[in-house]
Amino acid sequence: MASGIFALLDDVATLMDDVAAMSKVAAKKTAGILGDDLAVNAEKASGFVSDREIPVLWAITKGSLLNKVIILPLAFLLSAFVPIAVTIILIMGGLYLAYEGAEKIHEYLFPHEKKPVTPIEVNLTKAQVIAKEKEKIKSAVFTDFILSVEIIIIALGTVVGEPILEQILVVTFIALLATVGVYGIVAIIIRMDEFGYKLIALNEEKDSFSDKVGLILVNALPKIIKGMGVVGTIALILVSGGIFVHNIDYFHHLFPGIPSIIKEIVLGLLIGFLVLGVVSVFKKIWKPKTKSHE
């Protein structure tokens, strides 16, 4: 009986060791999307009245957890019964990521006019504030759903050939990391300026140490969000290129002498701008048709 218990414990230890190793691989593969997720949600969770930022972020976090509850069972069912579907969805996700990265680069090189984004004002009525909050929460949760699909499918793609129990443990861990880790960091980031203002107001002395630290925190917030956006864009290109290289044989065996990271960046950029071009042409063709029907 004792030997049976020790054998069971040994099996559990081996399983957890395998899960930990695969989780590291999955985390590396999804790091780019997590970075983009972090940048997007930090931007979406900011711009609220100070005392409403955390409640709004908590509402988005709950929406994110619900997204994972919906996506995870569907992903595991596909992996168990239609594993080829995981690869197909993975490649489709790669096309979307490449397009998103190329669009951001194009927007940086050829900026479009944007409508000014105004934060939620303090003098709005309670009903107006609630309506604006719900609108931003809905938008953030929808974006999270798209990113969650990508994260879970990429994580699942790293363990698709493993036993179903290990798949469930690894992908669920990554999904929880994507929610708890990302939104935990977002909570810290969006409160940086508030903490900075408190340091500035800590004493009446001008140009004190607390004032300097407070000003650094206040001024750093928009730069950090912008910096994460740049890192996220690079990561989108790399992750999408990696999906194409590792899941399409033609690309995998193309130019074997070139380092993998160079191949992934080039493929991510080329395919991203190709998809961007196709989408742009489609939009130009579609717009006149929609106007003619109005």
Q: What predicted TM-score, i.e. pTM, was given to this entire model?
A: 0.69
Q: How far apart are CA 183 and CA 76, in angstroms?
A: 24
Per the CB < 8 A criterion, the answer to whether 228 and 42 are in contact is yes
Task: Provide the angle, in degrees to the nearest 10, between the axes of the packed helices 53-81 and 126-158.
Answer: 30
| Token duo for residue 225 | 């969000």
The helix (run of H) or strand (run of E) holding residue 138 is helix 126-158
Q: What angle do CA 95, 153, 254 make, to 5 degrees?
A: 50
CA-CA-CA-CA dihedral for 60, 63, 64, 67, to nearest 10: -160
DSSP-assigned letters across all residues of 54-95: HHHHHHHHHHHHHHHHHHHHHHHHHHHH-HHHHHHHHHHHHH
Amino acid of residue 4: G
Instruction: Give pLDDT tens digits along the chain (294 positions).
Output: 444 443 433 444 444 455 555 555 555 555 556 666 666 666 566 555 556 677 888 888 899 899 999 999 988 888 888 888 888 888 888 898 899 889 989 988 888 665 554 444 455 666 776 777 788 788 778 878 877 887 888 888 778 777 888 888 888 888 888 888 888 887 787 778 778 888 888 777 777 888 888 888 888 877 887 777 787 788 788 888 888 988 888 888 888 888 888 998 999 999 999 999 999 999 888 865 544 444
Token pair 């493929």 in the structure block, residue: 267
